[in-house]
Structures are given as structure tokens and as C-alpha cells.
Amino acid sequence: MNANHHPALHGIDQVFRLFFLFCVCVAGVGFATGSRADDVEEVSFRTPTSQWEVSWLNELYAEAFEAETLEPINWSSPPFQTAIRDLDGKPGNAAIFVSWTDTRFCTANACQLDVWYWDAPEAIDKGVYRKVLQGIALQPLTLGPESQRGMRDVWVGEIRYRWTGSRYEK
């Protein structure tokens, strides 16, 4: 007896087909909404306050900022905001996102954005921060679930930056 003639098997067959159709529809909705919908992390900026952040930012920016503006960085009201995020899933090497707020580093619509990555090829304690992205900060800034060569994609507005192996590029 085949499934088309046995009533119990026919009911199971219909349930299976409905379930399969439901799964296909749900999967289709996921594809239709785009890959940025899942695991997208919006980057929120804040004034740097921890001694760790201030010491690194001072090392990365103090000399160049003073040469450009002829004044030292005022750490009670710094010329930028920061966010600390993980880009590669490795512990101990967080990236520093820097969004400038000082008008000398802005256009009419957006300000300079820098991303510094802790580059430690030999050992985590023997690394150095290296600027891996410099661009214009349009809102929102998000990290996508996608990755290239082990580093998450960075979205600035609708522009996607992908890791090339040494830096982020459009």
C-alpha cells in the first residue's frame, strides 16, 4: 500500500509538506531582509574616561593634534568620542573606534572616523595599535555579522568596509 491510499500516512505526508513549505517561507524571509539584519551590532560612541583609553589615545593623537591645532588635547572635553569593539573574536585585542567631534576635523555633514586595531602577530602583549581605517563618520556605524579574513565588516551608513588582510577598504 502506498502513502496516497493509506489515510494515516496521507495525513503525515500533508503535515510534512506543510512544515517543509513553512521552513522554505521562513528561510525566504531571511534572504529577503538581507544579511545585515542578523547579529548587526550598532557602535555607540561616548567620551573616553578610563585611564587605559586616555593613555592609548594620548599616545596615538596628542602629538599630531597639537601640531595641527597648536593646543594640547583637553581631556576634560576631548575632541572626539570613542567606542571599544571586538573585530576578530580574539580576546585581549579590542579595536578603538574614534569619531571626531572637533569642527576642525569635520565637514558640513560628517566628521573624521578612525579605527585602530591591536596588531600583535607574535604575542598579544607584544602588539601595537595600528590605524586600519580612516574615513568619514556617517551615522549609523555598525559591525556586520559578515567577516573577511577573520575580521568583521564595518558599515558606515550604507558603505561597507571589508578587511583586506592589513586594513579596511570599501
* pLDDT tens-digit readout, 8-61: 444 444 433 433 333 333 333 332 233 444 578 999 999 998 898 999 999 999
Instruction: Name the CA dihedral angle for 156, 42, 98, 102, rounded to a multiple of 10 degrees.
Output: 80
Nearest alpha-carbon partner for 80 in 69, 88, 92? 69
Grid coordinates representing 138 are 556617517
What one-letter code names the amino acid at 53? E
Which residue has 521562513 as its cell numbers? 26
Cα–Cα distances (Å) from 124 to 94, 112, 161, in that order, read: 11, 28, 25
Element (H, E) at 54: helix 51-69
pLDDT band at 1 (very low <50, low <70, confident <90, very high): very low
Judged by average pLDDT, the poorest of 20-34, 107-121, 134-148 is 20-34
Q: What is the DSSP letter of 8?
A: H
How much is the pLDDT for 10?
47
Does the pLDDT value for residue 117 go beyond 50?
Answer: yes
pTM of the model: 0.73
> What tens digit of pLDDT does each residue of 50-95 get?
898 999 999 999 999 999 999 999 999 999 999 999 998 887 788 9
State the Cα–Cα distance between residues 98 and 115, nearest whole angstrom. Answer: 6
Grid coordinates representing 104 are 576642525
